[in-house]
């Protein structure tokens, strides 16, 4: 079925360290993979996305890598800062019948000063 | 330009009561979605719409109904609320599925 698995569920790092969150998806036809950040009490907001014709995409301190063969993609945050503390969600577009955007279960990232 | 507006922001229901959540967007988006967010379970898709007059089931559609009579509005209905429907509900919209989702501010629903 349509499924996105996300790990880890919680992640604690020291300020300045890197953080990596991984997601796997079930549908080999999936072709769009966004990442959303949700701060406490706020709505989710898109931080970066990648399409299946690209292996890696960077935007300042964040990057996403995609391995279509293994059906997994990862979010990398370098030089973490306390304001990076939030819940991060990966998602994948499933389009066998009609378009759906399915989210992973989320990773709570805590960056300690 | 308000973006995506959800009403109400908070609601408490008794088991068996009904209610409708309203989502309105002013960005002329084709796609609209209803998600529920529960601790440890992420954002789960309830129903979605790819255009005015269309609706489709998501991951967890049971107990909910939706309607998209106007392009800018997407309504989520609970006909007979159950405690398992206690959750935070988010509406979202986008031009296409492969574009940024704009989320509403969420509705905290408690069913007693």
Residue by residue, pLDDT tens for chain B (112 residues) are 679 999 999 999 999 999 999 999 999 999 999 999 998 888 999 999 999 999 999 999 999 999 999 999 999 999 999 999 999 999 999 998 778 999 999 999 999 9
Q: Considering only CB atoms, which chain A residues are within 8 Å of B30?
A: none
pLDDT of residue A13: 97
pLDDT of residue B2: 78
Q: Which residue has the tokens 């296409």?
A: B96
Which of B40, B43, B100 lies nearest to residue A103, judging by beta carbons? Answer: B43
Which of B33, B42, B90 lies nearest to residue A43, judging by beta carbons? Answer: B90
Q: Considering only CB atoms, which chain A residues are within 8 Å of B41?
A: 105
């Amino acid at each position: 079925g349509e499924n996105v698995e996300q790990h880890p569920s919680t992640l604690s790092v020291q300020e300045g360290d890197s953080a990596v969150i991984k997601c796997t998806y079930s549908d080999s036809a999936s072709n769009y993979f966004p990442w959303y950040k949700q701060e406490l009490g706020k709505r989710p907001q898109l931080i970066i996305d990648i399409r299946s014709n690209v292996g890696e995409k960077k935007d300042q301190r964040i990057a996403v890598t995609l391995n279509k063969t293994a059906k997994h993609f990862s979010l990398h945050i370098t030089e973490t800062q306390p304001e990076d503390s939030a819940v991060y969600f990966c998602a994948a577009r499933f389009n066998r019948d009609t378009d759906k955007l399915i989210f992973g279960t989320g990773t709570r990232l805590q960056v300690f000063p | 330009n308000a973006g995506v507006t959800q009403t109400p922001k908070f609601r408490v229901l008794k088991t068996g009561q009904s209610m409708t959540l309203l989502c309105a967007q002013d960005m002329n988006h084709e796609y609209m979605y209803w998600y529920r967010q529960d601790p440890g379970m992420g954002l789960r898709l309830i129903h979605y719409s790819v255009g005015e007059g269309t609706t489709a089931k998501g991951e967890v559609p049971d107990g909910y109904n939706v309607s998209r009579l106007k392009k800018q509005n997407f309504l989520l209905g609970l006909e007979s609320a159950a405690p398992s429907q206690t959750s935070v509900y988010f509406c979202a919209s986008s031009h296409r599925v492969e574009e940024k989702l704009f989320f509403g501010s969420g509705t905290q629903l408690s069913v007693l």
